[in-house]
Structure 1
């Protein structure tokens, strides 16, 4: 952190300060140790199980995300079958790369080595930006790609090299295979450029050629969505409903700022101000409007607070450059104190706590607020209880029995270990798993994992409890206090019933 003492104003066009190899490298090394040390803690997160299951059914599209993350999960599954740690390595690497790129963005702004170190420190002490690197998730990859795109665009502003716009288009095309959030970034950039310049950006052929490339690469995924009724667009309503349970639009901005961390949040706000008001960053002023436009979009649609987190690196970098604009001793001391406090908070956020010291929760809401913890327990208990219920069935009945899980997490947990536990085919009408296949009409016996008894009685002639899965730290209704129902003689054939059962919530 001695490099924080260095200050320097924005250099002239074409110049860049030296890169802070030692300071940024030290931060990346510490972050790598923290991330790799936590990879084997607890169990699989529910979405990770789903990505492995989806990766074993590779397709051009899925109901709730693009094909890239399932493809990554499949690659790691082939390299190290069944390894939870291997599945998480790409998330760690993406997060570490984003830390380095955040410092490079500060360098593009003309930030000294001190500003670069502060930017990397802010990124690495964010309870969202760093901790998301402990598991494979769409937001982990999406955030890192936003950071890369931001760096390429800002570098173009400085150099006017159109190859950078084509590179940004390639990364955008890749990011479209993760989530459909990156177009909002480009909309916000376009609005900022129209307001503050450089308007030349919108006249560049490379930009429009890149847009055509993004569209062309996205065609297979779009065709899949069209053939299946555009389920990914319906996810917006599902996400909005989920957000209402934690305060909806009123909690969006506080949660979004809090996710940046203590020091990161300070630099975030400082960065927006510096971009809009500070003369040395005038040529990058359009970027100051980007978070404001994204807030309007995501608050208006009731999206998740972390949807805009991909632009945090650039804003933190601008804030760090402004913070180190002179040799004011109080700001240097303040930075050190805030970084230390932020580091303590983020270390506390990592999964260090012993399982025996974690208290169980009593409701889905409580578990949902700490989903990163309670979404990782109880999978073996669920598999054991399901396998026991299945083996208790008469042999002849087992031949016409399938498993149907209420949640796509449950279905994924059972599916990826199906052979090991001797289980029949697994189905679920929930989220993307519902599109993996329809139970055959010959399946007149079902073990239904979880779900509502009254609803099941409307679908089957016979519904009786066949087992129970329970884990002390499990997620209520998923791996804690879950009834396994034996259902017989469906009222209608599955080919007719299944389309009406599909749900994204």
Structure 2
């Protein structure tokens, strides 16, 4: 009898019991507060530059794929713009709700790791106050939608691994995993790098039994079927998404401060709570026996961190991994707290309160800042730009106006004009830059161009005359008497850079 009791006591808790109760009410409160803050912030300011591009692409150029991203975010933005034209709240509502879902996913991940209610709420708060999350959660962009989808992917992986360690894995989770991967591929293709990192680290650290499951191959098949539209589009257009990697590398020194700046930003984006939670979570996932089944996930996070530094990727490419890391960190700190309590020692748990308050304040400051970024990168506010261009367009003689196309130097300028096309009576905008360069040329009847931007030099050889006309904050140029057919001209001026 004595021997039996000792054997039972020595058995790991995870083999005899499921995860703790879900902290539904406090996590819902955190998610609701998060959503309200971002909806209010989203009602102010103009369009963010990537957001207005999503809106214009999805509303006026719906397609199965695009040069620089898959179709889901543009189509979602276009649908919101169609439902409520001009409403910033409606446009941004899906992004806010999906981001708020990340709070629940972070708590769920902590629960899967065995975290109690306090750890689950800490993980949810850590996600909600992440600096990158605070910046983008109310913008309808691919990188906003991507992070919660990565967290859902990780949640399914963690749940399967937990059940596998308990000897009762439900392989149907793998089919759901395939669906999540496929949908995420329709948001951003970087999930392919995540999957490659997970697979390689799985081969090194295990559990390799996953690869022998028939439903694992079903997972791959489902993912490929769902991702097929954007993959087919990319193949048909010569894989321009791959060419974009060179553009990203060229922009890294300016946007991220080079590799060292990107490496630092990847850490700072975690937030005040996220930094200690993520770093401690990685350390414990790699070393603690409790986290052995999930070791490959932490290794995959580090592998991606190193990969994107080496390839000069954007710092936010790894943000989707933060949810699982900070959830592990919250549970690891819980274990420290429990061990100290069992030993009769007082810990430093009281630090969680000031750290949480500081995290909320820092996140709030970033949210406020995000609503002021409409004029970033020297781009004027969207409505002001459309008004200036509309004034110049109406001042053209009526006969000339009928044969004049409006062209933006960059995809950003073209998208900001398209956002107010109907409001200001402008024709559809064109641009030879990035994705807009693949949307098509102006009509054959367009002999002249009202060029919006700083540098019309690449266009000068293709027109008889180029002169600057009165504008506002952005230079406007009138290019007259086109000298060659649009398809031939377009191939010479189109550029991803």
Q: Common fold, TM-score beyond 0.5?
A: yes
More helix by share: 2
Cα 1:461–1:263 change in 2 (3 A) is same
Structure with larger Rg:
2
Contact 1:441–1:495 (CA under 8 A) maintained in structure 2: no
Report matched runs for 1:71-150 at 5 Å.
71-150=75-154
Report matched runs for 1:418-497 at 5 Å.
418-470=421-473, 482-497=474-489
Give, in angstroms, the shift of residue 292 of structure 1.
Answer: 1.3
Matched, 1:227 2:236: yes
Q: What does residue 227 of structure 2 align with?
A: 218
Give, in angstroms, the shift of residue 298 of structure 1.
Answer: 1.2
Give, in angstroms, the shift of residue 500 of structure 1.
Answer: 2.3
Q: What does residue 257 of structure 2 align with?
A: 247
Give, in angstroms, the shift of residue 453 of structure 1.
Answer: 4.0
Q: What does residue 169 of structure 1 align with?
A: 178
Any idea what SS the aligned residue of 2:189 has?
A: coil
Any idea what SS the aligned residue of 2:133 has?
A: coil
Give, in angstroms, the shift of residue 234 of structure 1.
Answer: 0.9
Deviations 1:334-368 (A, max 9, x none): 2222111111101111126997xxxxxxxxxxxxx
Matched, 1:341 2:333: no
Paired with 1:175 and 1:10, the residues of 2 have a C-alpha distance of: 34
Contact 1:276–1:282 (CA under 8 A) maintained in structure 2: yes
Q: What does residue 313 of structure 2 align with?
A: 303
Paired with 1:13 and 1:374, the residues of 2 have a C-alpha distance of: 56
Give, in angstroms, the shift of residue 451 of structure 1.
Answer: 3.6
What is the CA RMSD across the aligned residues, in angstroms? 2.0
Paired with 1:354 and 1:235, the residues of 2 have a C-alpha distance of: 28
Deviations 1:185-224 (A, max 9, x none): 1112112222221111121111111212222222222222
Residue 391 of structure 1, aligned match among 394, 409, 413: 394
Deviations 1:98-152 (A, max 9, x none): 1101110011001111111111111111111233112111001111100000001
Give, in angstroms, the shift of residue 317 of structure 1.
Answer: 0.6
Any idea what SS the aligned residue of 1:351 has?
A: helix
Contact 1:53–1:412 (CA under 8 A) maintained in structure 2: yes
Matched, 1:207 2:211: no
Any idea what SS the aligned residue of 1:469 has?
A: coil
Give, in angstroms, the shift of residue 376 of structure 1.
Answer: 8.1
Give, in angstroms, the shift of residue 29 of structure 1.
Answer: 2.5
Count of matched residue pairs: 472
Contact 1:108–1:154 (CA under 8 A) maintained in structure 2: yes
Contact 2:49–2:374 (CA under 8 A) maintained in structure 1: no
Give, in angstroms, the shift of residue 13 of structure 1.
Answer: 5.2
Cα 1:180–1:30 change in 2 (3 A) is same
Give, in angstroms, the shift of residue 373 of structure 1.
Answer: 5.5
Paired with 1:225 and 1:500, the residues of 2 have a C-alpha distance of: 21
Relative to the length of structure 2, the TM-score reads 0.91
* Residue range with higher mean Cα deviation, 278-287 or 375-384: 375-384
Cα 1:85–1:377 change in 2 (3 A) is farther
Contact 1:46–1:375 (CA under 8 A) maintained in structure 2: no
